[in-house]
Amino acid sequence: MRKKIALVVGARPNFMKAAPLIKNLRENEPTLEAILIHTGQHYDRQLSELFFEQLGLPEPEIFLKVGSASHAEQTAKIMMEMEKVFLDLKPDLLVVFGDVNSTLASAIVSAKMGIKIAHVEAGLRSFDSTMPEEINRMVTDRLSDYLFVTEVSGVRNLKNEGVASDKIFFTGNIMIDSLVSNLEKAHSSNILNDLSLEPKKYATFTLHRPSNVDDSNILSGMLRVIAAVGAQMPVVFPCHPRTKKRIEEFGLMSEVPNGNVRVIEPLGYLDFLKLQADSRIVLTDSGGVQEETTYLRIPCVTMRENTERPVTVDVGSNILCGSDPERIINTTWAILNGREKKSAIPKFWDGQTSNRIVKVLKTKLA
């Protein structure tokens, strides 16, 4: 009898991590039945449907449509619906990805129902408990039976927390699998022509973390950063719905620069990958962008006080800069004036992570 593996996704970062794994399972492992569940945490076309299309993700067998809400309400809705799903589906294993609310909620339900859990992207720590993602990561790791780690710091963190070594598997970064398999396709994107940009002559800027956008003073400072960089070169700012909403709520529309700054809607996966790959520099508060720019060896300024992905700073092209506008601007000028750090691609960020994960799962479920 085939073993049932339920793979849960909910938000945009999950889609890039799930795509290579579900493809690998369905094409190469006839003894394992992969069932895709989408909670609907991200549900609009730009943040969900378009990513499914471009990443070649199949239609989910189950779509919960939970939508937006507070952390507690959203998590509760997912838990209530997921319990019904698991009672009917009776999976042998749950696979969850990253650190979104769908990850936490599904893991809690699975643990209470005695279903084994595999966490892809386990062990990452910012050591900042004010980040909702940090809570999600830590609880999910504590409940999981198989922990698939992206970088050496993850192995160290889990061992320091008392996780048994036989639960930890250093398999690499599965998001890079998606990047490697789609990079050539992304190069055919017309996004640069659409925005009248020349390769290596523009900056990309992303901003969505609550710590940066939920405080009007910090958000205002970030808009000053965009304006300063935009005075030197074109800046593309795909504006996250949360960020746009806060700018409007705080009455900061007049501070949003125009002219050299292109404020656009969120992009699909291929267009954004192309935008990153041809950037002169990227400024961000996104964990995934830190990873993608590291693989692409694009200078990245991370506008946060900490990162749960220290390997991007230790060996990659990432510079952790905090949220002080002057420091961000000065660091950006230093990079643009040629003072870039030497970088390398971390171990197992090679496009083969899904193969390593499937090998472990096949053995454990045999």
CB 119 within 8 A of CB 96: yes
Q: Is 208 a catalytic residue?
A: yes
What is d(CA 288, CA 294) in angstroms, rounded to the nearest whole number? Answer: 10
| Long-range contacts of 26-30, Cβ-Cβ distance < 8 Å, separation of 24 or more | 26/58, 28/358, 29/358, 29/362, 30/2
What is d(CA 122, CA 146) in angstroms, rounded to the nearest whole number? Answer: 9
Neighbours of 299 (CB within 10 A): 23
What is d(CA 61, CA 37) in angstroms, rounded to the nearest whole number? Answer: 6
Given 38, 42, 208, 240, the catalytic residue: 208
Q: Tell me, what DSSP letter sits at residue 247?
A: H
Closest by CA position to 303, among listed 224, 209, 204: 209
Q: In what order do the strands lie in the sheet with 32-38?
A: 62-63, 32-38, 3-9, 93-97, 116-122, 146-149, 168-170
Q: Tell me, what DSSP letter sits at residue 167?
A: G
CB 244 within 8 A of CB 279: no
The angle at the Cα of 84, spanning 174 to 47, to the nearest 5 degrees, equals: 40
What is d(CA 258, CA 262) in angstroms, rounded to the nearest whole number? Answer: 7
What is d(CA 39, CA 77) in angstroms, rounded to the nearest whole number? Answer: 9
CB 36 within 8 A of CB 60: yes
What is the DSSP pairing of strand 93-97 with strand 3-9? parallel
Closest by CA position to 126, among listed 344, 353, 305, 361: 305
Which residue numbers are catalytic?
208
